[in-house]
Amino acid sequence: MKKNRLRKTVQIFFLVFIALIAVNHTLAETGAAIPLIGNASLHAVCPFGGVVSLYQLITAGTFVKKAHESNLVLMLIVFASALLLGPLFCGWVCPFGTVQELVSKLGRKLFKKKFNRFIPYSFDRYLRFLRYALLAWVVFMTARSGQLVFANVDPYYALFQFWTGEVAVSGFIALGVTLALSLFVERPFCKYACPYGAVLGLFNLIRIIPLKRNSSSCISCKKCDRACPMNIPLSGAGSVRNHQCIACFECTSTDGVCPVPGTLEFRTGSFEKSAKTGEAE
């Protein structure tokens, strides 16, 4: 379970880090900033700001209101990691994804095996495309207005700025709905509404190191299906290119979920058996 523990550690680190940045920005305005913690705004450390600024940056050479050069740099770093392994940012870094997972721990205790299984996959698979509609709306409205329009309905922004008086009522509503749904569904905002997750999800189609299943060693126990927080039917796939994968490594053989070593892994090569060793190469 080494990767699982590592992921949890990384997630908590970034959750605390972003929370400190958000609090310190407020404290800096009163002259009481925390030493060694930057006083950047929450907008400045969000890579999605780079995405919604692209149109204005290309056409006018400027950023939209409240966006910064740092957004573009962070966007490029996240895109590079996504091209390699998929949306690592979603599964390992995003603090709002971590908060949803923490709330879901309670939901898992309340509903046990039924948790994250309330919506049939045959219907749920189409709901996942709602976030692409939201992405199109956000990009269009931001390009048209030159402002970060999504901030008004962004539950992530509401969570880390609720004390500032800058959060719109719609933002609080989105946050409340997301946290409530997290008791029934794993990462509901990530699945159905996150526009940045929609962008990063496209990298699953072209990422260099995909998730692969060795059909010759798979025993069809479906433990990987149950372990996947995004409800992806992994046990029937060969190379997993699902746009919802967040590269969390929860399903892989190396994390103890799959009982057969070398069956489900992130890799570039095929699962060919060596004639000499009989092991996967």
Higher pLDDT, 147 or 30: 147
Higher pLDDT, 274 or 41: 41
Q: pLDDT over 90 for what percent of the chain? A: 52
pLDDT for res 274: 34
Q: CATH for 209-281?
A: 3.30.70
3-class DSSP state for residue 272? coil
Is the model's pLDDT at 57 over the cut of 60? Answer: yes
User: How would residue 153 be classed by pLDDT, with cut points 50, 70 and 90?
Assistant: very high
Q: Return d(Cα 149, Cα 128) in angstroms, integer.
A: 22
pLDDT in tens, 68-111: 888 889 999 999 999 999 999 999 999 999 999 999 999 999 99
DSSP-assigned states of every residue in 139-207? HHHHHHHSB-GGGGT-HHHHHHHTTTT---HHHHHHHHHHHHHTTTSSSHHHHHT-HHHHHHHGGGGT-
Is the model's pLDDT at 156 over the cut of 70? Answer: yes
Closest C-alpha among 266, 264, 277, 268 to residue 216: 264
User: How would residue 37 be classed by pLDDT, with cut points 50, 70 and 90?
Assistant: low
Which DSSP category does 235 fall into?
Answer: G
pLDDT in tens, 44-53: 888 888 888 8
Whole-number mean pLDDT of the chain? 87
pLDDT for res 281: 40
User: How would residue 279 be classed by pLDDT, with cut points 50, 70 and 90?
Assistant: very low
pLDDT for res 276: 33
Tell me the domain boundaries of the chain. Answer: 2-204, 209-281
Is the model's pLDDT at 143 over the cut of 90? Answer: no
pLDDT in tens, 181-204: 999 999 999 999 999 999 999 999
Q: Return d(Cα 94, Cα 10) in angstroms, integer.
A: 10
